[in-house]
Amino acid sequence: ASGGRGGCAASAAAAAAAQTASSASSETSGSRPSGGGGAAAAAAAIARFAAPQASTAEQRVQACASRLAGSARCVDALIASLERAIANPEDERCRKVSLTNKAFRERVGSVPGGVDFLYAVGFEPMHGHLVLQRRDTALLWVGKAALQAAQESLAYRGSKEALQLREALQLSSSEYAAEEAARRQAWLQKVPDEPPEGQAGSALICVHVGETQHWRRFDSSEVLEDVVNFARSLPGVPLGRPIGLSNVTLRPAVRLDLATECGLTLQRLDLWPTGHLRVEAG
Contact criterion met (CB below 8 Å) for 150 and 75: yes
Q: Which residues pair with 274 in a beta bridge?
A: 204
Q: How far apart are the first and last CA of the chain?
A: 38
Q: pLDDT truncated to tens, each residue of the chain (282 aa)? A: 344 444 444 444 444 444 444 444 444 444 444 444 455 554 554 444 444 443 698 999 999 999 999 999 999 999 999 999 998 888 888 889 999 999 999 999 999 999 999 999 999 999 889 999 888 889 999 999 999 999 999 999 999 988 888 877 777 777 888 888 999 999 999 999 999 999 999 999 999 999 999 999 999 999 999 999 999 999 999 887 889 999 999 999 999 999 899 999 999 999 999 999 999 986
